[in-house]
Structure 1
Amino acid sequence: MPDQLTDKSNQILGISLVLASTVAFSLSGVLTKAIESDTWTIAVWRGLLGAILIVGYFFWQNRTSAAPTELRLGWRGWLLASVGSLASLAFIAAFKMTYVANVAVIYATVPFAAALLEWILLRQKVRRPTMIAATISLTGVLIMVGAGVGSVNLLGDFVAVLMMFGNALYMVLIRIFSKTPVVLAGAASAFLLFVIGWYFTDPLAVSLHDGLLLTLFGLSFAIAVILWTEGTRIITAAESGLLGSSEVPLAIFMAWVFLAEVPPLTSFVGGVLVLCAVLWHAVRDYQQAKSV
């Protein structure tokens, strides 16, 4: 009986941590649009604060380890960090150029793009449910992006699609480079944006208002990563994927509450298609995991 209570408590803790991480992640669009500074300035501050906190978390996590902490990334780690940096930069830029809803929905299709890249790069067979969900999601994304033709949002939607493939490639590289310290690569990714960004902007030339929001953005990013990492250690990947899908409606809700941003009808139609596909796929994975 005590073991069952412990397992139940751990599951509740894991669910709570992952849900809290989705709330923190869902603030990205609101904070990006609320900050008046340019994309590079946001990337520099988010990268600096994120790198510091993630590295601190890494050492705290390994504080009881008897083995010395491996700090070498090697070319694989730096390739992973570079891809992560480009994807993060596109993520911020997309929010600046199009609706939060569009970026959030397109980002939700990352697992399906990753499955496609795994098939191309690793010749890994794609499951039939994944193919169905990916096809529905692609239809939704095409509806959203197609509606932006001739409008100022088209470039932002295109950047969001590039961001989606960048994150998908990042996920696949994590699997290929399985022995690479992922947390350190994530910190290096954030730090790269900090270093490179100094050549494109003056990050110190920000208002007090932007400075506070930039600090909040960096903190929320790092906290989201840490909460998600700790939560996924406790619950199954299927549960984490299902809970993570709540980030899409949360991001759209946050944009409506804080920015009064209401995207066009086509964004809702495409978003509903993508969200239904993501939820159906996540629920199916969850049910299969429970039946094992």
Structure 2
Amino acid sequence: MQSTDRQHRAGIALVIAAAIAWSTAPFFTRLLHFDSWTILFWRGVFGGSFIALLLIFTQGLNGARNLIAMKPSGWLVASLSTLGMVSYIPSLQLTSVANVAIIIAVQPFAAAAIAWVWLREAAAARTMWASLVALAGIVVIVSGAGGVGDYRGIGLALLMVIAISLMTVVIRKHRETPMVAAASLSNFLGSLVSIPFAQSIGAVSSHDLVILAMFGLLQVGLGLTLFTLGSRFLPSGQSSLVATLETPLMPFWVFVAFHEVPSLRALIGGALVMGAVIADIAADNRARSAAGLHDEAAI
């Protein structure tokens, strides 16, 4: 029981760290002035290389074998992750950020629904209520945004949500599969897919390469690795919910770097999202502690 609790707490900490890493995307995007496919290419090269080197450094020859001899479940995770990555930035270009953000907010519901159908993994009622609060918070954040959504952009955003939700459930189902290797592969696949569409692969300066390297190492490589590891120890719906911390953290980095003061909507919505996540984690910890005391009393 104690071992399970430790794994659960570690899973929450890893997914929170992944959300923090992912939330830096607007910061790096602001620093770059290239088409989305060029950014995806270089970000994938650096992110995939970082994960591969980390895997080999920590696991040696076994890590190298995992990269070369990928299992079918690993290829599935890599493919789903790649699909999510290459859908995200184009969706932002084709429709409003508000549309994409609201669609992304339904990911916990999508992951929980897929897990229920596939794994018969019922989400706790408190997690579903917390997901509703988090969704309300994100709606508040984007409620001030305007613009007419383009159906292609909305479709790509929905495709991304479905892909990442499926990836989360697959990770949960196949815990024994070397998923960190799959995360590395997904970045390289993303770069490969981007080549036919990228317009400025060879036009980046050395300064741009440094920014792209940081983008790939921190936001993609570290974020995806942490989420991949953390998702093994959490229910699919909860891991997706904790990852929504990414949304309210995004304006924070922009404020620090570019002195853009978040709107009142962003502050209120961010408080709702963070409050929902903290409440869900606290309630889950109380339930687990109560269960542990009950088991000890029974012994």
Give TM-score, length-normalised by structure 1. 0.73
| 1:259 counterpart residue number | 258
Alpha carbons of 1:193 and 1:60: their partners in 2 closer, same or farther (altered >3 Å)? same
Higher mean displacement: 34-43 or 130-139: 130-139
Q: Contact (CA 8 Å) 2:111, 2:165: kept in 1 or not?
A: yes
Residues 1:181 and 2:167 are matched in the alignment: no
Matches within 5 A, 1:16-95: 23-63=20-60, 71-93=68-90
Which residue of 183, 187, 191 corresponds with 1:190?
187
Alpha carbons of 1:229 and 1:237: their partners in 2 closer, same or farther (altered >3 Å)? same
Alpha carbons of 1:59 and 1:247: their partners in 2 closer, same or farther (altered >3 Å)? same
Which residue of 204, 208, 211 corresponds with 1:210?
208
Give the Cα–Cα distance (whole angstroms) in 1 for the partners of residues 67 and 21 of structure 2.
29
Alpha carbons of 1:119 and 1:128: their partners in 2 closer, same or farther (altered >3 Å)? same
Give the Cα–Cα distance (whole angstroms) in 2 for the partners of residues 263 and 103 of structure 1.
19
For residue 24 of structure 2, what is the amino acid of its counterpart? L
For residue 44 of structure 2, what is the amino acid of its counterpart? G
For residue 278 of structure 1, what is the amino acid of its counterpart? V
| 1:7 counterpart residue number | none
- Residues 40-92 of structure 1, C-alpha deviation per residue, up to 9 Å, x if partnerless? 111111111111121122222223869x7574224432222111012122344
Q: Contact (CA 8 Å) 1:37, 1:210: kept in 2 or not?
A: no
Alpha carbons of 1:215 and 1:52: their partners in 2 closer, same or farther (altered >3 Å)? same
Unaligned runs of 5+ in 2: 1-9, 293-299
Q: CA RMSD, aligned part only?
A: 4.3
- Residues 239-274 of structure 1, C-alpha deviation per residue, up to 9 Å, x if partnerless? x96986764443321112223445655555544433
For residue 182 of structure 1, what is the amino acid of its counterpart? M
Give the Cα–Cα distance (whole angstroms) in 2 for the partners of residues 211 and 185 of structure 1.
24
Give the Cα–Cα distance (whole angstroms) in 1 for the partners of residues 269 and 153 of structure 2.
16
Q: Contact (CA 8 Å) 1:105, 1:271: kept in 2 or not?
A: no
For residue 199 of structure 1, what is the amino acid of its counterpart? P
Residues 1:275 and 2:246 are matched in the alignment: no
The DSSP-based 3-state class of the residue aligned with 1:283 is helix
Residues 1:119 and 2:116 are matched in the alignment: yes
Q: Contact (CA 8 Å) 2:140, 2:265: kept in 1 or not?
A: yes
Give the Cα–Cα distance (whole angstroms) in 1 for the partners of residues 262 and 154 of structure 2.
13
Give the Cα–Cα distance (whole angstroms) in 2 for the partners of residues 79 and 18 of structure 1.
21
Higher mean displacement: 221-230 or 33-42: 221-230
For residue 75 of structure 2, what is the amino acid of its counterpart? W
Give TM-score, length-normalised by structure 2. 0.71
For residue 276 of structure 1, what is the amino acid of its counterpart? G
Alpha carbons of 1:207 and 1:154: their partners in 2 closer, same or farther (altered >3 Å)? farther
The CA deviation at 1:275 is: 3.1
Give the Cα–Cα distance (whole angstroms) in 2 for the partners of residues 263 and 56 of structure 1.
37
The DSSP-based 3-state class of the residue aligned with 1:204 is helix
Matches within 5 A, 1:234-245: none
For residue 28 of structure 1, what is the amino acid of its counterpart? A
- Residues 124-152 of structure 1, C-alpha deviation per residue, up to 9 Å, x if partnerless? 22221122122333344455566545357
Higher mean displacement: 128-137 or 185-194: 128-137
For residue 213 of structure 1, what is the amino acid of its counterpart? I
Q: Contact (CA 8 Å) 1:94, 1:159: kept in 2 or not?
A: yes
Give the Cα–Cα distance (whole angstroms) in 2 for the partners of residues 185 and 164 of structure 1.
19
Number of equivalent positions:
278
